[in-house]
Amino acid sequence: MNSNKRDFFAQSMGFCAFALGLGIIVEVLWIALQMFNDRNLGFHPVTPAGPTVAEIGVGFGVLVLKIALLFLGSLSGSLIANKGVKLYFSGSGVIGRALEAQGMQPEKTVDIRELIELENPLPSHKAKV
């Protein structure tokens, strides 16, 4: 497959992955904003006398868990968006043209359509009788 060819399926999948990653990051920021605006940090004591020590401990544990999940969500959203950008540009052929402009040869890649067209891509392992 020529490195200068554009693969519109790869570009559209890359764009979708990028949009998904950005959506995850926006959702994480929205949840963080809601947590920031909550004066009680999601802890609403049931008794009018005030929270017990156990309720404070559980509330703090839940808060730490929420912050850890927000961190993991932002990290995963960033990684997904990064893979989407890489897939988009690899499908557009920009990387191959940049390498050829510098006098370098892009790595040989195998097109899946070529593998499907082969009659028998893998050697058959028939038992000898």
| Residue pLDDT, tens place only, 50-100 | 778 888 888 889 899 999 999 999 999 999 999 999 999 888 877 667 767
Residue 82: how many CB atoms within 10 A of its CB?
13
- CA atoms lying within 13 Å on the CB side of residue 31: 15
Whether the per-residue pLDDT at 45 is higher than 70: the answer is: no
Helix, strand, or coil here: 122? Answer: coil
82: amino acid identity, one letter: N
Q: What is the pLDDT of residue 1?
A: 45
Tens digit of pLDDT for each residue in 11-39? 999 999 999 999 999 999 999 999 999 88
- Domain extents for the chain? 8-106
